Amino acid sequence: MTLALFVTLVSLFAVAVSLITEAVKKFLQGARVKYSANIVVLILSIVVAVGGTALVYLFMGIPYTTPNIVCMALMAVAVWVGSMVGYDKVIQMLEQLKSLKLK
């Protein structure tokens, strides 16, 4: 996996995880289920990153070698961190925009 491909996938997957997390959280709130947002993001990051990277490997004809499988695990960690940081910053920005409109 090249560095350019890794960075592109991390960006795409982090955005996808953030959006999916919001949908899952709304569902869980509607079902009145107690949950930890960080655990939800972690689980979704693993599923999206490993599954998405496996699909990219499949479609691009990249073999499943040991280094590429390690990259899949690293992708999950990178997407998790990116989603956590990105999600918090997006929520903070939306709250700031709401406060500007009200004034």
Residue 56 has pLDDT above 70, yes or no: yes
Backbone angles phi, psi at 11, to 5 degrees: -60, -50
- CA angle, 1 as apex, 51 and 49 as ends, to 5°? 20
From the list 50, 53, 57, 48, the residue with the least C-alpha distance to 14 is: 48
Residue type, 92: Q
> Out of 22-36, 46-60, 76-90, which region has the weakest mean confidence (pLDDT)?
76-90
Describe the crossing of helices 37-60 and 66-102 by its angle, rounded to 10 degrees: 130
Q: Are 84 and 21 in contact (CB under 8 A)?
A: no
Residue 30 has pLDDT above 90, yes or no: yes
pLDDT value of position 46: 96
pLDDT value of position 93: 67
